[in-house]
């Protein structure tokens, strides 16, 4: 029920403001909104040529690494009985050969892995799901996973920890996401 600017100013002062302060805040608010609208309207347009140039200059952003799924049987030297390292190695060799023969002659790979294998995924049947090339601690197992024939029981491999047998289930080669 105010009729003049003076009355409005007097009323605003009871709330700790003034007509001049309110006008200044309103102008700042409008200017801020306008700045945001102007900024949003000025979206840079990216041309097809620009995208193609970025694609060619940054191939690593579009690379899809080689991947493999495989099964693994392992016997670790450190977990075998024997007084000497040579005795433990002989025992490990016997055990890995027995495991490989069991699978070769028809016993399910997961069953053999669960019962005899020392490796980390033994309780999951020795199965490894989609690993990238170079991601394994053992270079020997990594190389086998990316070179061995699919669905064939590989030969006995040796690394610093023990003996291993790999069977590669699936593999996809490295490739590039097409532009």
- pLDDT, tens digit (0-9, with 9 covering 90-100), for 12-56: 898 899 989 999 999 999 999 888 887 777 667 889 999 999 999
Distance CA 157, CA 166 (A): 8
Query: Higher model confidence: residue 141 or residue 5?
Result: 141
End-to-end CA distance of the chain: 67
Three-class DSSP category at 104: helix
Residue 2 banded pLDDT, cuts 50, 70, 90: confident
Task: Compute how many other C-beta atoms are within 10 angstroms of the C-beta atom of residue 95.
Answer: 19
pTM (2 decimals)?
0.67
Supply the pLDDT for residue 35. Answer: 86
Sign, CA torsion 20/22/26/29: positive
* Contact status, residue 155 vs residue 44, Cβ threshold 8 Å: no
- On the 0-12 / 13-18 / 19+ scale of CB atoms within 10 A, 137 is exposed
Three-class DSSP category at 157: strand
Distance CA 85, CA 97 (A): 18
Distance CA 83, CA 56 (A): 59
Containing 122, the helix (H) or strand (E) segment is: none
């Amino acid at each position: 029920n105010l009729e003049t600017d003076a009355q409005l100013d007097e009323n605003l002062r009871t709330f700790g403001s003034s007509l001049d302060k309110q006008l200044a805040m309103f102008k700042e608010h409008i200017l801020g909104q306008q700045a945001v609208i102007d900024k949003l309207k000025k979206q840079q347009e990216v041309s097809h040529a620009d995208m193609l140039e970025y694609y060619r200059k940054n191939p690593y952003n579009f690379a899809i690494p080689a991947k493999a799924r495989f099964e693994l049987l392992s016997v670790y030297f450190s977990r075998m009985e024997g007084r000497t390292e040579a005795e433990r190695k002989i025992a490990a060799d016997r055990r890995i050969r027995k495991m490989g023969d069991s699978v070769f002659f028809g016993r399910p790979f997961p069953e053999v892995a669960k019962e005899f294998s020392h490796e980390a995924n033994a309780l999951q049947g020795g199965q490894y799901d989609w690993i990238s090339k170079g991601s394994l601690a053992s270079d020997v197992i990594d190389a086998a996973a990316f070179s061995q024939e699919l669905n064939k029981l590989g030969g006995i491999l040796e690394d610093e920890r023990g003996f291993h047998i790999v069977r590669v289930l699936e593999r996809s080669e490295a490739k590039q996401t097409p532009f």
